[in-house]
């Protein structure tokens, strides 16, 4: 399990977001995300559900590159590649915000072996 907090565009936690250095792994953008709405509509939403979708997307891409990746290895990949930010340092376990590009570059450059990161 990977737990996710939601931030605004300034990397501050949303007031509604969960957080806790020992309970939440990382943060991701979760404010004003264009998404699907009930009734076949689209609109902007904010919250951890929107932030988690970005992390799930990175998980899907990582697994497509490394089909045998274990959950703990995915968590290690995230921790190794977050953007560390002072405002998140004491709020989430990794101390940072998701960096999808960094995670995928690391897999591309060093392969699927966790020892290479």
Count of structural domains within the chain: 1
Q: What is the DSSP letter of 71?
A: H
Beta bridge partner(s), residue 36:
42
State pLDDT tens for residues 44-96.
999 999 999 999 999 999 999 999 999 999 999 999 999 999 999 999 999 99
* Cβ-contact 92, 21 below 8 angstroms: yes
Q: What is the distance between the alpha carbons of residues 58 and 15, in angstroms, rounded to a whole number? A: 25
Domain span holding position 15: 4-116
State pLDDT tens for residues 25-39.
999 999 999 999 999
Q: What is the CATH number of the domain that holds 67?
A: 3.40.50.200
């Amino acid at each position: 399990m990977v737990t996710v907090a939601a931030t605004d565009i300034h990397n501050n936690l949303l007031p509604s977001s969960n957080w806790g250095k020992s309970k939440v792994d990382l943060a991701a953008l979760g404010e004003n995300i264009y998404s699907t709405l009930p009734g076949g509509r689209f609109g902007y939403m904010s919250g951890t559900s929107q932030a988690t979708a970005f992390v799930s997307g990175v998980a899907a891409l990582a697994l497509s590159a490394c089909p045998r990746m274990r959950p703990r290895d995915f968590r290690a990949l995230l921790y190794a590649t977050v953007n560390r930010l002072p405002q998140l340092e004491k709020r989430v376990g990794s101390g940072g915000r998701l960096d999808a590009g960094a995670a995928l570059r690391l897999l591309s450059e060093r392969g699927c072996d966790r020892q290479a990161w």
